[in-house]
Amino acid sequence: MKFIKALYFSSRFFSVVGLLVSLFVTSFFIPLLLPVSKGLLFLFIGALTVDLLILFSAPKGVEGKRICGERLSNGDQNPITISLKSFFKFPVSINVIDEIPHQFQVRTMSFDLLLKARENTVIQYNLRPVKRGEYEFGNVNIFVSTVIGLLSRRVISSASSTVPVFPSFIQMHTYELLAISNKLVDTGIKRIRRIGQNSEFEQIKKYVAGDDIRTINWKATARKSEFMVNNFQDERSQQIYSLIDKGRVMQMPFNGLSLLDYAINASLVISNIAIKKSDRAGLITFQDKVNAILPASKVNKQISTVLEVLYNQRTSFRESDFSSLYSTIRIRISQRSLLFLYTNFETLFSLQRQLPFLKKMAQRHLLVVVFFENTEMKSLIETNASNLQAVYYKAVAEKFSLEKKMIVRELQKNGIQALLTPPDKLTINAINKYLELKARNMI
């Protein structure tokens, strides 16, 4: 039974069968073709038998194994590898079909290649998930055929697995490595000129070329008979909170991901960099009510806790309640903190409804409101209008763009930091803002 299930007829088989049928039909009218038809039939049966024996000469045939990470990174290209091993003593052609999760909506994940005798090889491809959650991988199906090509043998490699898709930990590790090697500027992170001295004194050390002469400690210099300077360090243990709006305004998609997932990915990166700079990172998510609260901390396991909390965020995209957010912050966050509020305002009216709560938050904390540019509107504005309808669309787009700029001015007028950014530039711009505020000692 297994033998029959593993056997498939190729397109070449049906072509030859069609040719034989037409020859036999023609032989009724042209009797001279009958011996030729019979000869070809016996030749076909012989080739079919030989093909069958060759295909099942190796009990295992071809072995396949899918290799992927224990979890996938949302919004990133995740490498997937299929390892193949041939047990045949001669070259075979194979067609590999991988059963990838239905979320990708791809039905053409197949690969054709030639395997030499007892050859090992790998197939590599990338998958880019755009939603968090569990993804079900199926089996790896391998169809083997010989040079005769009349039959195919199907080998099923059981590779079923469930892989969770987490917020973008690939992006997090990338920025972490760049921060450690001081190469953040290579990705667009600005160099921020430090204004004044930080308030935390670290030590007195010997003067070396390049030290600021304004930090010379003259008393220590007199005692040591050589120049000594005061060394300062960045203020540490400052609280950095990511406030993530899960309401309906964050449902808008961009390049496959929702604005909510962009905010979640950026929050993970900011939290990781804050902890690396010895600050404390925390998290609050909300929509019609506050859903998750993670107190700020810088313990070793904090970033893994942030990752788990962000992975488990589910939303129905309801109307956001900023009054509930303000009440929670007032009760749960007593120390002055830097608050990154990820939300979206499309009109000045929508901001004015929430402005009283934002102003109250800004009285006790340093609040940065992060919201998003509509890149479709921007591209429409930059397009030359060729007819009256295009002129109308362009005027409407310019109105919406102007309203976004008015929202920025309104926030700044009320003492609130504002960050208007395209979704794909969110992480870089948020890091820039964090480093800028740290450099200016505003936290």
Domain presence at residue 414: yes
Instruction: Count Cβ atoms within 10 A of the Cβ of residue 74 and give its class: 0-12 exposed, 13-18 middle, 19 or more buried.
Output: buried
Residue at 198 is within a domain:
no
How far is Cα of residue 338 from the mean position of the Cα atoms in its chain? 26
Indicate whether 283 and 430 sit together in one domain: yes
Query: Per the domain annotation, does 281 fall within a domain?
Result: yes
Q: 117 with 41, same domain?
A: yes
Run of H or E including 275 = helix 259-276
Regarding whether 79 and 182 lie in a shared domain, the answer is: no
Query: Is 354 part of any domain?
Result: yes
- Structure tokens given for 53: 């024996």
Residues 282 and 427 in one domain: yes
- The pTM for the full model equals 0.81
User: What's the pLDDT score for residue 196?
Assistant: 47
Asked whether residue 226 falls in the same domain as residue 148, the answer is no
Domain count, the chain: 3
Mark which of 166, 181, 215 sits at the end of a domain. 166
- Residue 90 in tokens: 């001669």
Among 182, 215, 231, the domain boundary falls at 231
pLDDT for position 179? 60
Asked if 279 and 384 sit in the same domain, the reply is yes
Q: Based on the number of CB atoms within 10 Å of its own CB, is 177 exposed (0-12), middle (13-18) or buried (19 or more)? A: exposed
Same domain, yes or no, for 395 and 252? yes
Check if the beta carbon of residue 361 is closer than 8 Å to that of residue 334.
no
Same domain, 101 and 212: no
Whether residues 338 and 213 share a domain: the answer is no
Confidence (pLDDT) at 139: 92
- Reported for 333-337, long-range contacts at CB under 8 A and 24+ positions apart, including other chains, are 333/239, 333/241, 333/282, 333/296, 333/365, 335/239, 336/239, 336/364, 336/365, 336/366, 336/443, 337/238, 337/239, 337/240, 337/241, 337/282, 337/296, 337/365, 337/366, 337/443
Overall residue count recorded for the chain in this entry: 443
Judge contact between 431 and 270, C-beta under 8 A: yes
297, with CB counted inside 10 A (0-12, 13-18, 19+), is middle
Domain range enclosing 14: 1-166
Residues of the chain short of pLDDT 70, as ranges, are 1-5, 177-202, 210, 231-236
What the block records as the tokens of 291 is 């859903």
Task: Determine whether 154 is exposed, middle or buried from the number of CB atoms within 10 Å of its CB (0-12, 13-18, 19+).
Answer: middle
Residue-level pLDDT at 438: 84
Q: Residue 363 CA to chain centroid, in angstroms? A: 35
Cα gap 279→443, rounded to integer Å: 11
Tell me, yes or no, whether 159 and 135 share the same domain.
yes
Q: How many CB atoms lie within 10 A of CB 44?
A: 16
Same domain as 76, residue 182: no
In a domain, 19, yes or no: yes
- Does one domain contain both 85 and 212? no
